[in-house]
């Protein structure tokens, strides 16, 4: 029996250190057929030579300047034709047998548009840091959590989900996949969670996850809170949760701004979140209360710790 085609896209830019491991993790899967597309943003670090070495096994690849990760992913999927779709960043990997297990789940549950599981967070050398688990697939919880609900490299979705919620929103560089899955859930689509790891999620100095504590990410969280959750076109299913969701993203921005040393902006973001939603967990309150400490005092404390 012919099995359904799976399309996997890898966006990449200046990731030669990890790229070959990513490519091999996809090509060495025990599932066939896989349509694998690699979209490089014009790297100059040797990435092109790596991709070219696997060219005969790729459905399509390119290396040219782009408008960022979301644009690269969209370019890849524009040229794809698989019934099932997913993307794996160039510093992450698929674990053996992952695609088979995710396809099996989707085939078994035709009402589910997404299948997803756990991920193993690893460092630059591939050493295990922790076992990561996603949040529940429920539109309210997904909106209010202030971050991603699905561990993206450990997921596959039907093309119907892409037609419903895609392409990735190129206005964003950090939250576009969070928005994609939220749009799928907001449309009333179901998903299947499998409590097992399907990918490694690499944490290193240049990873997007490491940049979560930088100002650009914080600014994008503020913009996402206002443009999406505060916009006129927020889906009906999300509307009851919009205020709490905006507050959550303001707090995420406040945390990032605080860690980046932008103390005044962090404090203002936190105060804005309180206006929308005063309630928060004790853990969140513990972090957020720091933003109320005057910046000069924080700088003195940080200097003393370094000494």
Which residue would you say has higher pLDDT here, 216 or 294? 216
Helix (H, G, I), strand (E, B) or coil at 87: strand
Show the tokens assigned to 116: 């997803």
Q: What is the H or E stretch that residue 95 is in?
A: none
CA angle 217, 221, 223 (to 5 degrees): 115
pLDDT band, residue 253 (cuts 50/70/90): very high
Distance, CA of 91 to CA of 198 (rounded, Å): 15
pLDDT band, residue 19 (cuts 50/70/90): very high
Distance, CA of 293 to CA of 266 (rounded, Å): 10
Residue 246 pLDDT > 90, yes or no? yes
pTM for the model stands at 0.94
With beta carbons less than 8 A apart as the criterion, state whether 6 and 34 touch: yes
With beta carbons less than 8 A apart as the criterion, state whether 122 and 42 touch: no
Show the tokens assigned to 126: 């591939």
Residue 200 pLDDT > 70, yes or no? yes
Classify residue 247 as exposed, middle or buried by CB count within 10 Å of its CB (0-12, 13-18, 19+). buried
Classify residue 291 as exposed, middle or buried by CB count within 10 Å of its CB (0-12, 13-18, 19+). buried
Distance, CA of 256 to CA of 249 (rounded, Å): 11
pLDDT band, residue 294 (cuts 50/70/90): confident
Per-residue model confidence (pLDDT) at position 212: 56
List strand residue ranges (DSSP E) for the chain, in order.
6-12, 34-40, 60-63, 84-87, 93-94, 112-122, 128-132, 155-158, 190-202
DSSP state for residue 63 in the 8-state scheme: E
With beta carbons less than 8 A apart as the criterion, state whether 273 and 254 touch: yes
Residue 205 pLDDT > 80, yes or no? no
Per-residue model confidence (pLDDT) at position 160: 98
Mean pLDDT of the chain: 93
Per-residue model confidence (pLDDT) at position 78: 98
Per-residue model confidence (pLDDT) at position 290: 86
């Amino acid at each position: 029996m012919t099995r359904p085609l799976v399309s996997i896209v890898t966006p990449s830019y200046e990731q030669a250190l990890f790229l070959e491991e990513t490519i091999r993790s996809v090509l060495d899967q025990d599932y066939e057929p896989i349509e694998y597309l690699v979209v490089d943003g014009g790297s100059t670090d040797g990435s092109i030579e790596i991709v070219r070495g696997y060219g005969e096994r790729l459905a399509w690849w390119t290396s040219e300047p782009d408008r960022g990760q979301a644009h690269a992913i969209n370019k890849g999927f524009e040229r794809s034709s698989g019934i099932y779709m997913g993307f794996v960043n160039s510093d992450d990997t698929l674990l053996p047998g992952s695609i088979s297990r995710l396809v099996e789940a989707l085939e078994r549950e035709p009402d589910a548009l997404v299948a997803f599981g756990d991920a193993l967070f690893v460092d630059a050398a591939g050493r295990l840091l922790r076992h990561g688990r996603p949040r529940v697939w429920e539109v309210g919880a997904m909106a209010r959590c202030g971050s991603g609900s699905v561990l993206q490299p450990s997921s596959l979705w039907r093309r119907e989900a892409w037609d419903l919620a895609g392409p990735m929103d190129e206005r964003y560089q950090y939250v576009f996949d969070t928005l994609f899955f939220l749009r799928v859930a907001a449309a009333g689509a179901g998903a299947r969670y499998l409590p097992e790891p399907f990918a490694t999620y690499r944490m290193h100095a240049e990873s997007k996850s490491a940049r979560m504590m930088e100002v650009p990410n914080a600014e994008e969280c503020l913009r996402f809170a206002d443009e999406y959750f505060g916009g006129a076109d927020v889906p009906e299913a999300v509307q009851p949760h919009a205020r709490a969701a905006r507050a959550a993203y303001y707090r995420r921005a406040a945390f990032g701004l605080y860690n980046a040393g932008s103390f005044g902006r962090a404090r203002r973001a936190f105060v804005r979140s309180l206006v929308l939603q005063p309630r928060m967990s004790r853990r969140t309150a513990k972090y957020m209360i720091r933003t109320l400490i005057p910046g000069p005092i924080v700088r003195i404390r940080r200097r003393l710790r370094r000494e």
